[in-house]
Structure formats: structure tokens, C-alpha cells
């Protein structure tokens, strides 16, 4: 019987599909150490892992039977995909199911930072609310403003659809221009510099790659309006956090709202002390429904690999080509 190592207990919907296999589940509530992953993966046929688990050459080489690495996330930047491909090991992710949920969270962050929801909540809980006042917690309007979307993939488009309800102008920047969706979303394709200079809210929806590492740094913050807000629900390493701290503390931009951090789960204390920032603990896809669907998807990817098929969400189908073996 095939054996599967799972680096955290996933929602039951997914685990039920794997019941007939020998499951070794890491039961901790913080990420397993590399030593633990290396122990767990020994002799296993499949690995189901999280975005917090670095799956490097040592891990990939540790089990001679490994057929598939099923990431429980859409971003697979935690996995050395080229090593897996060379070894004929399939890598899968969970695209699609978390698109709308992540777009919802992006909007929660946009509204929270613009309308100072967190400061208001804090004031109420500390019993500091003395009554309605003309200048109490004034924020910025969201409606009719300009939204700049960097990365117009599925999540970027879902964010843009919601912006229509706020009557916003939409600018986007993407590797490739997408004329079909541009029309549907009433979005204008611009270069990065124009997007940074003209947007009131700038939201990132790019995968982490060598091109997007520190995509937003000192120069980019300097190009933004002083009244601009940066929203990041993609990957923390796409933003240079040192430059972000400077931008927020020196007033180069108005504020930011982050669901992801450069050195996750560590978050710089200088960042945490800033008042013009909303922080969320990487919960973009964290709804009951979506995390259940992601678990089913990861399990189905493993089942397909066990049947000898290319799984539905394979990111490296070349792994099955003979020349890579
Ligand atoms: C992903 O799947 O990449 C998300 O960051 C999870 O929330």
C-alpha cells in the first residue's frame, strides 16, 4: 500500500479521500523542522506539504519512491520544482478554488486600511469612544478612486470585478497584455511606472519568482502618490520590507495592508509599531469552504499520480518525460 506523508492535519474532506492509504500526518501546530520532514518523507510515495515547508533537494532526494509533491497552496515557490522534475517527481498546486476567497480578503484589507477599521475597533474596545465627532478617524474614500493591479491573473481579475461595484478606475500591469479581460473589466494596461504614479490603491497579485522578488522597493515607493496605499496578499518577498518601513514611517505613502511578510512568520517589530498599517496572518485563502476544497484538490492530485496519470493541477508535466529521468 502506498504511503503518504502530510506535513499538517488538513481538513477532513481531503483526508477522507486518502483513507485507504497509509497516512503519516505531522500533528504539530507550527511548521515541522527540516529534520522532521526528512524523517517523515522516508520511504513515502507521496508528500502533501504546505507553503511554509521548504521542499529542497535534500527533501526531494530523501525518498526513492516519491511520485508526487502536492502543495496545499496555489503558490509553489517553496518547492525546488526543477529538482523534482529532473527526478521525475510530479508537483501540484491548488489553483482556482482560492481565487474568490483571496480577492475577498484583498477587499477586506483595502477597506480596513482606507477607513481605519482597526483603529476604530481598538478605540471601542479600550472604551475611548466619546461620541460622534466631525474629525473622528477620518480616512480616505475608496469609491471612484484608481485601483492599480499588479498581476492580472485569476486573483487580480477577481479583485478587479469587485472594484466595479466601487465605481473605480482600474489600471493593471502584467507580463502580457490581456485585451479580452481588459474590455470586460474596463481596465487599462499601463507600464509599472504609470501604475505606481497614478493609482490610489496598489494591490499585488503576482507569484514569487526571480523577476518579482523585491518588485516593490525604495524606487517604486518613491514613484507612488503620498496618498497611496499598498496592499499585498501575494508573497511577502515581492516587497522589500525595509523600504516599506521607510515609506510608511517617512510618509512616502499613506499606508499599507499586508497578509504576507518578507520573513514569515517573523514580522519586524518596526513594522508592527507603525500605525498606518493593517496586518493579517497570511489568511488569504482561510475560509472553511476554500480550505476544504484545497484539501480535496491536493488529495485528488495524489490519487491521480498513484493511478499513473498526470494530476489535474500538475505544474511540471515534464517530470514524466523520459529525457528528464
Ligand atoms: C496560496 O495558496 O499560495 C496562498 O498564499 C494560501 O493562502
Closest atom of ligand 1 relative to the 71 alpha carbon: 2
- Closest to 50 measured CA to CA, from 73, 83, 28, 25: 73
pLDDT attached to residue 321: 83
pLDDT per position as a tens digit, 232-247: 999 999 999 999 999 9
Could you tell me which residues come within 8 angstroms of residue 181 by beta carbon, excluding any fewer than 6 positions away?
A: 152, 157, 187
- Within a 10 A sphere around the Cβ of 100, how many other Cβ atoms? 19
Whether the CB-CB separation of 171 and 199 falls below 8 Å is answered with yes
Residue ranges of domains in the chain: 3-97+288-321, 99-279
Distance 154 CA to ligand 1 centre (A): 13
- Within a 10 A sphere around the Cβ of 29, how many other Cβ atoms? 7
- Of 8, 70, 98, the one to substitute when testing ligand 1's pocket (max ligand atoms within 8 A of C-beta) is 98
Whether the CB-CB separation of 205 and 193 falls below 8 Å is answered with no
Backbone φ and ψ for 257, nearest 5 degrees, come out as: -140, 125
Closest atom of ligand 1 relative to the 74 alpha carbon: 2
- Catalytic residue selected from 235, 241, 262, 300: 235
Distance 75 CA to ligand 1 centre (A): 6
Closest atom of ligand 1 relative to the 283 alpha carbon: 7
Active site residue 220: no
CA dist 92 and 302 (Å) reads 9
> For atom 2 of ligand 1, which residue has the closest CA?
73
Closest atom of ligand 1 relative to the 260 alpha carbon: 5
CA dist 250 and 17 (Å) reads 52
pLDDT attached to residue 323: 55
Whether the CB-CB separation of 105 and 284 falls below 8 Å is answered with yes
pTM: 0.94
Whether the CB-CB separation of 255 and 113 falls below 8 Å is answered with yes
Backbone φ and ψ for 24, nearest 5 degrees, come out as: -115, 105
Q: What is the pLDDT along the chain (325 residues), one digit of tens a residue?
A: 999 999 999 999 999 999 999 999 999 999 999 999 999 999 999 999 999 999 999 999 999 999 999 999 999 999 999 999 999 999 999 999 999 999 999 999 999 999 999 999 999 999 999 999 999 999 999 999 999 999 999 999 999 999 999 999 999 999 999 999 999 999 999 999 999 999 999 999 999 999 999 999 999 999 999 999 999 999 999 999 999 999 999 999 999 999 999 999 999 999 999 999 999 999 999 999 999 999 999 999 999 999 999 999 999 999 998 555 5
Domain 3-97+288-321 of CATH type 3.40.50.300: no
Within this chain, domains 3-97+288-321 and 99-279 share the same CATH topology: yes
Closest atom of ligand 1 relative to the 93 alpha carbon: 2
Ligand 1 — pocket residues by CB below 6 A?
A: 51, 73-75, 98, 282, 284-285
- Would you put residue 133 in left (φ > 0), alpha (ψ -120 to 50) or beta? beta
CA dist 58 and 42 (Å) reads 11
Closest atom of ligand 1 relative to the 75 alpha carbon: 3
Distance 185 CA to ligand 1 centre (A): 24
Distance 155 CA to ligand 1 centre (A): 11
- Catalytic residue selected from 100, 282, 291, 300: 282
For the chain, the first-to-last Cα distance in angstroms comes to 24
Distance 284 CA to ligand 1 centre (A): 7
Whether the CB-CB separation of 130 and 179 falls below 8 Å is answered with no
pLDDT attached to residue 324: 52
Active site residue 65: no
- Would you put residue 63 in left (φ > 0), alpha (ψ -120 to 50) or beta? beta
Active site residue 282: yes
Give, in order, the Cα–Cα distances in Å from 157 to each of 98, 154, 172, 194: 13, 5, 10, 19
Burial zone of 216 (CB within 10 Å; 0-12 exposed, 13-18 middle, 19+ buried): buried
Domain 99-279 of CATH type 3.40.50.720: yes
Distance 208 CA to ligand 1 centre (A): 11
- Within a 10 A sphere around the Cβ of 58, how many other Cβ atoms? 14
Distance 285 CA to ligand 1 centre (A): 6
- Of 79, 284, 292, the one to substitute when testing ligand 1's pocket (max ligand atoms within 8 A of C-beta) is 284
Question: Cis link prior to 116 (omega < 30° from 0)?
Answer: no
pLDDT per position as a tens digit, 265-276: 999 999 999 999
Long-range contacts of residues 216-220, Cβ cutoff 8 Å, at least 24 apart: 216/240, 216/243, 216/244, 217/243, 218/243, 218/246, 218/247, 220/192, 220/196
Amino acid at each position: 500500500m502506498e504511503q503518504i506523508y502530510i506535513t499538517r492535519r488538513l481538513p477532513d474532506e481531503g483526508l477522507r479521500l486518502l483513507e485507504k492509504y497509509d497516512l503519516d500526518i505531522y500533528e504539530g501546530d507550527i511548521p515541522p523542522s527540516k529534520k522532521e520532514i526528512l524523517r517523515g518523507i522516508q520511504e513515502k510515495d507521496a508528500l502533501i506539504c504546505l507553503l511554509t515547508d521548504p521542499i529542497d533537494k535534500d527533501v526531494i532526494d530523501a525518498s526513492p519512491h516519491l511520485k508526487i509533491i502536492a502543495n496545499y497552496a496555489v503558490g509553489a515557490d517553496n518547492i525546488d520544482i526543477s529538482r523534482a522534475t529532473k527526478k521525475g517527481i510530479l508537483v501540484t498546486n491548488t489553483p482556482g478554488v482560492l481565487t474568490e476567497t483571496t480577492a475577498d480578503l484583498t477587499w477586506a484589507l483595502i477597506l480596513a486600511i482606507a477607513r481605519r477599521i482597526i483603529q476604530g475597533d481598538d478605540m471601542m474596545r479600550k472604551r475611548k469612544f466619546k461620541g460622534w465627532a466631525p474629525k473622528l478617524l477620518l480616512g480616505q474614500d475608496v469609491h471612484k478612486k484608481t485601483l492599480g493591479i499588479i498581476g492580472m491573473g485569476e486573483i487580480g481579475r477577481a479583485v478587479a470585478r469587485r472594484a466595479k461595484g466601487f465605481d473605480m478606475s482600474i489600471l493593471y500591469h502584467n507580463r502580457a497584455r490581456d485585451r479580452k479581460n481588459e474590455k470586460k473589466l474596463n481596465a487599462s494596461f499601463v507600464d509599472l511606472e504609470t501604475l505606481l504614479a497614478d493609482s490610489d490603491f496598489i494591490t499585488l497579485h503576482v507569484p514569487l519568482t526571480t523577476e518579482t522578488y523585491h518588485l516593490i522597493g525604495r524606487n517604486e515607493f518613491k514613484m507612488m502618490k503620498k496618498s497611496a496605499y499598498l496592499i499585498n496578499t501575494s508573497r511577502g518577498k515581492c516587497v522589500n520590507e525595509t523600504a516599506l518601513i521607510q515609506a510608511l514611517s517617512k510618509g512616502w505613502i499613506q499606508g499599507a495592508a499586508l497578509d504576507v511578510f518578507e520573513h514569515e512568520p517573523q514580522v519586524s517589530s518596526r513594522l508592527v509599531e507603525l500605525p498606518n498599517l493593517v496586518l493579517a496572518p497570511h489568511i488569504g485563502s482561510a475560509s472553511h469552504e476554500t480550505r476544504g476544497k484545497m484539501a480535496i484538490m491536493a488529495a485528488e492530485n495524489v490519487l491521480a499520480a498513484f493511478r499513473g496519470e498526470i494530476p489535474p493541477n500538475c505544474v511540471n508535466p515534464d517530470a514524466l518525460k523520459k529525457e528528464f529521468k
